[in-house]
Amino acid sequence: MFGIVYHIPPEGHPDSAALEVLANILAGGEASRMQRDLVLDRKLVMGLGVSSMQLEGAGLFLAGAVMPVTGGDMDAALAAVREHLDRVRRETVSDEELLRVKKQVLKSLVQQSLTVNGKAQTLASYAVLFGSPEKANRVLADFQAVTADDVLRVAKTYLDPDRAVTLVVKRNLFGALMGGKDPDPEVSAEPEKESPPPGRPGVERPAGWPATPPADPDPVAFAMPEFFTGTLPNGMEVVVVDRKSVV
């Protein structure tokens, strides 16, 4: 396997959205450039990925690939990855590519906000990284505002070959086949015959505390959300539920 790494600005930089779009154009899904060329068409690698890791401090832009267990030409695969990285610095991405990637990113952001846990993680992340959760309400607009010229500009700025660090892990056939593990390791610990008692040893429940968790004397009844049904022109039946959310 191998990887090419570049330094990029921290999370919250004005180029953050364009860098995320760039990463998805290169390797975001089977329709992306490198997935189609290196994995599906030429089969130079088993798998690959490109990621824009934007952190609180300086971030990293990574492009890497995993070679087959046997066979394959790592030099050719590495050269092909470098060619894609160089091409995106020379040529403006097409409107079709940009629209496809924007839809992917926006879909991911919307899906993340559909659950309580997703909303909490989003709000907490922006509160910690930017000092206010209000930034979460502007993320969709930031991605929608990315242009093809923005993608070309950040590629030229940050994917400079002179600033790249290339990491190569040489193949070890025996290690790949065996996984570096003993096929039948010995068990050194005595098996437990009984479940451990609840609580911690030496800690007693304070006097007056109930032995069981308190129950809600007036539980909230489940309310069926309002929904609408319909049929699309192709005959598919759909159910639409109105969702009201702060994110």
Per-residue pLDDT tens over the stretch 109-155: 888 888 888 888 888 888 887 778 888 888 888 999 999 999 999 99
Distance between CA atoms of residues 182 and 167, nearest Å: 28
Predicted TM-score (pTM) of this structure = 0.69
Distance between CA atoms of residues 92 and 166, nearest Å: 25
Average pLDDT over residues 17-25: 94
Sign of the torsion angle spanned by Cα atoms 71, 74, 75, 81: positive
Sign of the torsion angle spanned by Cα atoms 188, 194, 195, 197: negative
